[in-house]
């Protein structure tokens, strides 16, 4: 059914998903009707044609539910309302009406195609308050509004809405539609959140054939990049890549003709260099280059790796005497290796003395007058490292001086870091991309010490760099296994070590390690409520909102972070007004997490902040991150999520005084040893494990972590 009319008022519009409720003056009957649908930001006075159906809302009554829409030519009366709606700076209702009266019919065509004629006539008519400066500003806004509106209409009609549509317009401007028509699959690469299936759906609407070479080639490329972004692979075997491509194309593997067509286009992509093959290994070329750069840089360092260590022992003995402390032999060996080689690795779990070793390394470096740089992948890890070592520590992105426009690093092989010693903590979190960039930026003469826990989860991004380097016998490394007693006989490190060996601790319960079984999600929530009310503070005196972290394996499910965060918000930040934006009730004081890198704002994936203020009328939120205040418009709030609960993956690099780990049977696919080990080792003071029947024991037993396809180990040999 078709409905046509003029926008009388906008009742509601969500910039996040485009859902809109408006009142429309129907063209034929002149009745005011309610229209709902996914629409761009419209303006009073615009004329639109909708395709959809009438429906009845149980509370608000009869509504027209629009599926598709288009702007139609606006009559003079409506055009005056449109121009005077506030969309055009300096143009009020009186000036708008004067412009319409001066030009009559054909005003839109004149504005679109004859701006000089418009300027001339405005000068001759001498419209009051419409100066030459305002005329130029008005014309510029008209063209911008015209093109942006046409573009947004196109995007919304293809279900690309809210912040995603805005990002496309900001990036490509007037060329957005032509670029999408030329190759809809570029959306997969250009915009975060648009996958192949969505781009493919748009391509089908635009008339691209299912057997189009472009479609098949883009499916191959997307499948390879998806394997990198989603699963951490640096390459895929050709058969695996073809299998993933067929799945994305929804092609049955028994359809021989369709499979042969995909194979033909796969070969063409490889021949063109868009996929680089090494035997049966298929690499995305930039990732292939990154892995090769790591290998070559390290091999150059290994060729001249031995450094003099005169006075090493004497200085350590002096430090021990001053601090009334003696290094363990394995700690002393780790310090010696770090002092005597251009590259070395120190790995070990919690309580194994990594921080003590770092202090020894830094003491010797200061004595030698070296310029020291400390770095870690996340802001929290960098802060913790700096506090422990008495030196300022940087995130790797900040150390390398990321350019917010190009997203490239200003520190590189032609503009290296100024240091004699670089120490990188939490190196297990560093992926292939970042490791390559970092290594290229370090002077050849400088020493590098990588520190991390090889038994934790691998990096979110592609590769398994720390473990691959540890498998290279030429790289000096120390694996710390002895657990040094902590103050108060904290048993978390001991139990984590047993879990890492596949042993369920016995007894499970201990001074700092607590185990609570549950049968149902409701029972788990009841336990959480009790712990937050009294249980946690009975063991440790902390600010619950700031220092307690709930960790779960997954985002979805009855005990995933999507369901848990609003529940925990009511418990940890009660009695504070909620302001609903983009489907989330935000409150001042909320704990939030940045979930993607934003180079413009200088905040990065995993950064934790606190909501400082909410400007509901202006639809924006201010968040306090590490001594800086960052403002988000409502169409940017997809970058934030409540963080009372977060995934275990997102917690890497962080430590908390108290941690509650929730393991449900619905998390079956994620219940692996390195996951539970990572979760438990986030706790410094106390950890509570809430487990459904068998979930904890299953995680401890399951050491079958998903293999990542990398070739770094072979390239180092």
Whether residue 388 has pLDDT greater than 80: yes
- Share of residues in the chain with pLDDT > 90 (%): 48
Better-scored residue on pLDDT, 104 or 561:
561
CA distance 229 to 223: 10
- Share of residues in the chain with pLDDT > 70 (%): 96
What does the pLDDT read at residue 406? 81
What does the pLDDT read at residue 198? 84
CA distance 288 to 286: 5
pLDDT-derived band at 413, boundaries 50, 70, 90: very high
The residue to which tokens 């691998």 are assigned: 458
378 class by beta-carbon count within 10 Å (0-12 exposed, 13-18 middle, 19+ buried): buried
Tell me the pTM: 0.78
Whether residue 522 has pLDDT greater than 80: yes
Strand order in the sheet with 656-663: 513-517, 683-691, 656-663, 548-552, 645-647
CA distance 344 to 670: 32
Whether residue 485 has pLDDT greater than 60: no
Question: Could you tell me if 127 and 99 are in contact, meaning their C-beta atoms sit under 8 angstroms apart?
Answer: yes
Whether residue 85 has pLDDT greater than 80: no
What does the pLDDT read at residue 582? 76
Distant-in-sequence, close-in-space partners of 525: CB < 8 Å, separation ≥ 6: 567
Question: Could you tell me if 40 and 149 are in contact, meaning their C-beta atoms sit under 8 angstroms apart?
Answer: yes
Whether residue 260 has pLDDT greater than 80: yes
Q: Poorest-confidence range of 412-426, 514-528, 576-590?
A: 576-590
Q: Poorest-confidence range of 9-23, 144-158, 586-600?
A: 144-158
- What are the two backbone dihedrals, phi and then psi, of residue 169, each rounded to the nearest 5 degrees? -65, -45
Question: Could you tell me if 368 and 347 are in contact, meaning their C-beta atoms sit under 8 angstroms apart?
Answer: no
Question: Could you tell me if 395 and 424 are in contact, meaning their C-beta atoms sit under 8 angstroms apart?
Answer: no
CA distance 416 to 373: 13
CA distance 119 to 59: 50
3-state secondary structure of 162: helix
What does the pLDDT read at residue 60? 80
Better-scored residue on pLDDT, 189 or 473:
473
User: Across all residues in the chain, what is the average pLDDT?
Assistant: 88
The residue to which tokens 């009142």 are assigned: 23
Per DSSP, 84 falls in state: T
What does the pLDDT read at residue 228? 92
CA distance 225 to 231: 10
What does the pLDDT read at residue 661? 96
pLDDT-derived band at 613, boundaries 50, 70, 90: very high
Alpha helices in 173-311 (DSSP H): 176-182, 186-190, 196-205, 213-231, 238-248, 256-272, 285-303
Tell me: the pLDDT tens digits for 311-343? 677 888 888 888 888 888 899 889 989 988 999
- Sign for the pseudo-dihedral over CA of 552, 556, 559, 563: positive
CA distance 153 to 155: 5
**Beta pairing class for 421-424 and 447-452:** parallel
The alpha carbon torsion through 175, 176, 181, 186 (nearest 10 deg) reads: 120
**pLDDT (average), residues 440-458:** 93
What does the pLDDT read at residue 472? 93
Q: Which two tokens stand for residue 466?
A: 């720390």
Whether residue 401 has pLDDT greater than 70: yes
What does the pLDDT read at residue 175? 87
Tell me: the pLDDT tens digits for 58-76? 878 899 998 887 777 655 5
Whether residue 231 has pLDDT greater than 70: yes
**Beta pairing class for 579-581 and 584-586:** antiparallel
**pLDDT (average), residues 698-710:** 87
Q: Which of 142-151, 182-191, 192-201, 446-455 has the highest mean pLDDT?
A: 446-455
Alpha-carbon distances, residue 289 vs 280, 437, 472, 710, 711 (angstroms): 17, 11, 20, 13, 12
Tell me: the pLDDT tens digits for 126-175? 777 788 888 888 888 777 777 777 787 788 777 777 667 777 877 888 88
Please work out, in degrees rounded to the nearest 5, the angle formed at the alpha carbon of residue 396 by the alpha carbons of 392 and 402.
115
- What are the two backbone dihedrals, phi and then psi, of residue 117, each rounded to the nearest 5 degrees? -65, -40
What does the pLDDT read at residue 164? 74
Q: Which two tokens stand for residue 535?
A: 């249980």
Whether residue 493 has pLDDT greater than 80: yes
What does the pLDDT read at residue 530? 96
What does the pLDDT read at residue 78? 59
pLDDT-derived band at 193, boundaries 50, 70, 90: low
**pLDDT (average), residues 395-417:** 91
Whether residue 125 has pLDDT greater than 80: no
């Amino acid at each position: 059914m078709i409905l046509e009319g003029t926008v009388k008022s906008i009742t509601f519009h969500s910039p996040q998903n485009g859902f809109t409720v408006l009142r429309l003056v129907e063209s034929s009957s002149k009745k005011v009707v309610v229209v709902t649908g996914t629409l761009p930001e419209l303006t009073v006075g615009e004329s639109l044609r909708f395709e959809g159906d009438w429906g009845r809302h149980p509370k608000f009554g009869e509504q027209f539910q629009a599926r598709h829409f288009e702007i139609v030519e606006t009559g003079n009366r409506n055009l005056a309302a449109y121009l005077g709606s506030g969309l055009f700076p300096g143009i009020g209702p009186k000036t708008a009406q004067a412009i319409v009266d001066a030009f009559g019919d054909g005003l839109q065509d004149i504005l679109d195609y004859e701006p000089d004629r418009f300027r001339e006539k405005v000068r001759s008519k001498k419209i009051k308050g419409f100066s030459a400066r305002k005329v130029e500003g008005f014309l510029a806004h008209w063209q911008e509004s015209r093109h942006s509106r046409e573009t947004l209409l196109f995007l919304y009609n293809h279900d690309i809405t809210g912040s995603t549509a805005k990002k496309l317009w900001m990036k490509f401007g007037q060329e957005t539609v032509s670029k999408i028509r030329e190759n809809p699959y570029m959306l997969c690469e250009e915009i975060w959140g648009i996958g192949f299936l969505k781009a493919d759906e748009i391509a089908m609407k635009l008339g691209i054939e299912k057997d189009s070479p472009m479609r098949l080639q883009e499916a191959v490329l997307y499948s390879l990049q998806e394997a990198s972004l989603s699963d951490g692979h640096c390459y895929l075997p050709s058969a695996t890549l073809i299998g993933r491509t067929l799945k994305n194309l929804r092609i049955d593997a028994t359809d021989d003709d369709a499979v042969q067509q995909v194979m033909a286009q796969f070969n063409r992509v490889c021949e063109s260099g868009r996929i680089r093959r090494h035997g049966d290994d298929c690499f995305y070329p930039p990732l292939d280059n990154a892995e090769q750069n790591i290998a070559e840089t390290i091999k150059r360092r290994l060729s001249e790796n031995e450094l003099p260590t005169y006075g090493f022992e004497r200085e350590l003995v002096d430090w021990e005497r001053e601090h009334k402390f003696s290094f363990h032999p394995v700690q002393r060996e780790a310090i010696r290796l770090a002092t005597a080689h251009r590259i070395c690795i120190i790995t070990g779990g919690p309580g194994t003395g990594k921080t003590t070793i770092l202090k020894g390394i830094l003491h010797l470096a200061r004595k030698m007058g070296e310029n020291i740089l400390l770095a870690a992948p996340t802001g929290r890890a960098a802060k913790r490292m700096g506090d422990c070592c008495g030196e300022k520590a940087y995130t790797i992105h900040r150390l390398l001086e990321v350019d917010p426009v190009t997203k490239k690093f200003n520190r590189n092989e032609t503009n290296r870091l100024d240091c004699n010693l670089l120490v990188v903590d939490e190196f297990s979190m560093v992926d292939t991309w970042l490791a390559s960039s970092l290594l290229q930026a370090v002077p050849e003469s400088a020493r590098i010490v990588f520190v991390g826990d090889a038994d934790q989860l691998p990096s979110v991004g592609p590769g398994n760099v720390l473990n691959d380097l540890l498998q290279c016998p030429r790289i000096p490394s120390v694996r710390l296994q002895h657990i040094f007693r902590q103050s108060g006989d904290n048993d978390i490190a001991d139990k984590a070590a047993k879990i890492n060996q596949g042993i369920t601790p016995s007894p499970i319960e201990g001074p700092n390690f607590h185990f609570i079984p549950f049968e149902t999600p409701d029972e788990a929530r009841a336990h959480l409520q009790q712990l937050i009310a009294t249980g946690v503070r009975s063991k440790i005196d902390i600010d619950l909102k700031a220092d307690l972290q709930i960790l779960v394996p997954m985002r979805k499910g009855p005990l995933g972070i999507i369901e848990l965060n609003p529940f925990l918000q009511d418990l940890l930040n009660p009695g504070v007004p909620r302001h609903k934006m983009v489907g989330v009730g935000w409150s001042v004081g909320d704990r939030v997490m940045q979930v993607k890198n934003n180079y413009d704002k200088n905040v990065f994936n995993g950064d934790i902040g606190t909501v400082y203020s909410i400007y509901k009328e202006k639809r924006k939120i201010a968040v306090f991150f590490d001594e800086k205040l960052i403002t988000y418009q409502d169409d940017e709030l997809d970058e934030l999520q409540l963080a009372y609960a977060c995934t275990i993956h997102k917690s890497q690099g962080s430590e908390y005084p108290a941690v509650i780990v929730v393991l449900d049977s619905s998390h079956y696919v994620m219940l692996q040893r390195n996951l539970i080990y990572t979760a438990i080792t986030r706790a410094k003071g106390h950890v509570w494990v809430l487990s459904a029947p068998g979930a904890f024991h299953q995680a401890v037993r399951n050491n079958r972590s998903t293999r990542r396809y990398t070739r770094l180990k072979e390239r180092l040999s």
